[in-house]
Amino acid sequence: MPGFINALCIRYFFVALAMTIALVIITFLLVHYGVVDGIGASGNAGILAGSGTWAGTYFRKKHGRVASWGESWRFAGILTVVQTLLTVLLFGAFTALGGIPLASLVGFFTEMTMLSLLALAAFGLAICWIPTALFFRIGSKQVPRLKKA
């Protein structure tokens, strides 16, 4: 089972990374050409849905069955850690490239109390964990395609 989890996490990471890069490019183009005025964070739900569904499909392919709700919640917990690491990595990259002003980040975090930072982190993890579990289960219900001979 550990080999399966490692492969699942690595594949989830790259699927989420590819979807995130595509979303950033699409959003940049929409803002650049004036199609939209501002951007929001709702695209992240699509990334969680797509990555979670893909991970559930991978589970179904490897185990040949639908994941139970308990398995879905456990795998989603592990995948939430992977998603958090990806988010921190991309956030650092965008900050280093100048896309996010460092001064505004320092001001934002110094004005918050430790309790509010923990509450914000818990809320963010819940927002990632719950949809990932739901879409993991949906993905595990997908019947694998049969290969043509």
* Domain range summary for the chain, segments of one domain joined by +: 2-140
Quote the pLDDT of residue 94: 79
**In the predicted model, what is the mean pLDDT of the chain?**
86
CA distances from 99 to 10, 91, 104 (A): 27, 9, 12
pLDDT higher than 70, residue 2: no
pLDDT higher than 70, residue 139: yes
Half-sphere exposure of 69 (CA within 13 A, CB side): 1
* 147's tokens: 């290969």
